[in-house]
A and B are shown apart, each in its own frame.
Chain A
């Protein structure tokens, strides 16, 4: 009955049952391991997709649907909840997510604004997203719009909005995400048929949020465990994510150009130190 080397359990009575349930548990855990690895693989694929110049839309949609399916099942299982809790405790607090929400919701009001975060790869890259948002938020806080090279035309948007309204729901977040993606394309060209497949990036970016979790699970955490603070550096972020000329970085660079009333165009090194500083300030504010 016992395989060699197995310790005999104290309770004699339920041994048979415990064997079966152990087997069942093993099967279940192997299934959830497989499912987990499938999820990881899919998320990596999505991220790679997003980094392509023109992702194959069909493939992207199919992978995204698979991810959604896995996440749905994991939510039903309750294992998603566990994962997100773990994630939360790891330091990515809900407040940061709320900041992101706030930022994105704000940008939605400015329909014609080019959206800078569409530039930034969102899928799975939780840290990037949060950082960018924090940075942007910090702009309005310190009221040094001109300082931040990111601001661009976003500058106006910041002045008008408030830091409150953080308690937006997921839907609004998604909408604004969508809005951001759409508008960027529409803004650059007149008329219809201007959306580029890049907007699908928003689709995937929102998956984590849409499913009621603060974002990627521990697997993703692992994926990005080697992401150090240099990621907070816009520069690195941009160069890191592009392998070929893409719209994103150029778009961002465009908005770095003097399109607003900033007296001086901040060069990227200045940007960096400013960002770090503002980042720090933001953390303090959000923390409280």
Chain B
């Protein structure tokens, strides 16, 4: 089993799909059964390792991002990307087979015409469900640097792909051409001090996109303003806290994930120690800041030494934008309820998660343990990091990727069969209930 490198729920539809990409270039799609469980729906190899002959470099097959296309066909489409190439995959079902051809027999061999005495009309007969994945488009050779993001536009016709220095705009149907819309590459490469870390389209406005950088800024660009969006429309940056200033300030402020809220009004950014909610109308500071693991602030030097300080954590909104989720170390993940300002730390690991078990909240303490269940900050395992998390767009179902394991947690129904109102209750429910627990194959 390979390390999971991305997790993504699809947007709409009766069947809920969860796609995971891994280091080996495979995509595994899960489908939700009517009873509520997720089972493997399809597995296919999306990318293969390649060798760039001109540069004598190997291109890894690891899938960096997957994005579902919001199409309403019986078939499903998703974009998967590795460092250099983006592929559009069509995943379709076949559950019927035509039988009774006149000229060919069941195995497809030509019949001897002398044996054909009557004509028959072929009929469709049901067969075992066959799920086929076929690559429909390959978007290659447009990125000199490693692709870190892809994002489908709300117009459903275009999408963007971003690497360390550039963002390109593609049409889903055209593979040999893309437009460069952001270019951060300086004239003088030695002046390079900033790279693009994440880029995303606005969920409703097809002309707006946001991208974040390693210097801790997030920019909103309007594609109507000019063809090249190097000039931002808005710049979201919080002035650094002088009391916390250190040589690691910049690294710690580097934004590792950006997500628009479902409403399109807010922006969620994740840097090393915090998650911040920004109102698109206010650039100079976030409206909310949540400490993910502030106890690491005094350990930055050793985290720098071990390279952990460069870990890129993702973040997620729930369907109603009332709860935020992000991962941390020691297989912990955190949830913040924006209304009640309550937060919880949960653990996703084999030892803890059994089917139908309820997740217990965790606490990390800096000094002495106050409770038996407290975990000292010095005993945290920094190799166990939860970088990729996803929240179902409508329901309280979350997917957590911990190394090569996938955990799916679900909100348990209250006894009378109704969910509590999502606004304030969802967080509480999560830290009380766990319904399913799956492992990645």
- A binding-site residues for B, Cβ under 8 Å: 34-35, 38, 41, 53-54, 56-59, 61-62, 64-66, 68-70, 174-175, 177-178, 181-182, 188-189, 193-200, 202-203, 206, 210, 245-247, 250
Contact = CB atoms under 8 A, between A and B. Distances in A.
A206 B310 CA distance: 23
Interface of B: 54-58, 141-146, 164-165, 185, 188-190, 192-195, 197, 214, 247-248, 250-251, 254, 301, 304-305, 307, 310
A70 B58 CA distance: 34
Given A38-B301, A58-B164, A62-B214, A247 B194 contact: no
B188 A57 contact: no
Q: Among B185, B189, B307, which residue has the most Cβ atoms of chain A within 10 A? A: B189
B58 A53 contact: yes
B143 A203 contact: no
Contacts of B185: 195
B214 A66 contact: no
A177 B190 contact: yes
8 contacts: A58-B164, A62-B254, A66-B248, A70-B247, A177-B190, A188-B55, A193-B141, A198-B55
A57 B56 contact: no
Q: Is the interface of B mostly helix, strand, loop or mixed?
A: loop
B316 to A, nearest CB: 21
Contact of A61 (B56, B193, B301): B193
Contacts, number: 91
A175 B188 contact: yes
Contacts of A210: 190
Given A54-B57, A189-B54, A196-B55, A203 B247 contact: no
Nearest to A204: B190
Give me the 7 closest cross-chain CB pairs, A-B, nearest first: A193-B144, A57-B164, A203-B190, A178-B188, A58-B195, A62-B251, A59-B310
B188 to A, nearest CB: 5
A268 B179 CA distance: 47
Contact of A247 (B57, B142, B250, B301): B57
A178 B310 contact: no
A61 B192 contact: yes
Contacts of B188: 174-175, 178
A178 B144 contact: no
Q: Among B56, B58, B146, B185, which residue has the most Cβ atoms of chain A within 10 A? A: B56
B56 A246 contact: yes
Contacts of B54: 188-189
A245 B54 CA distance: 12
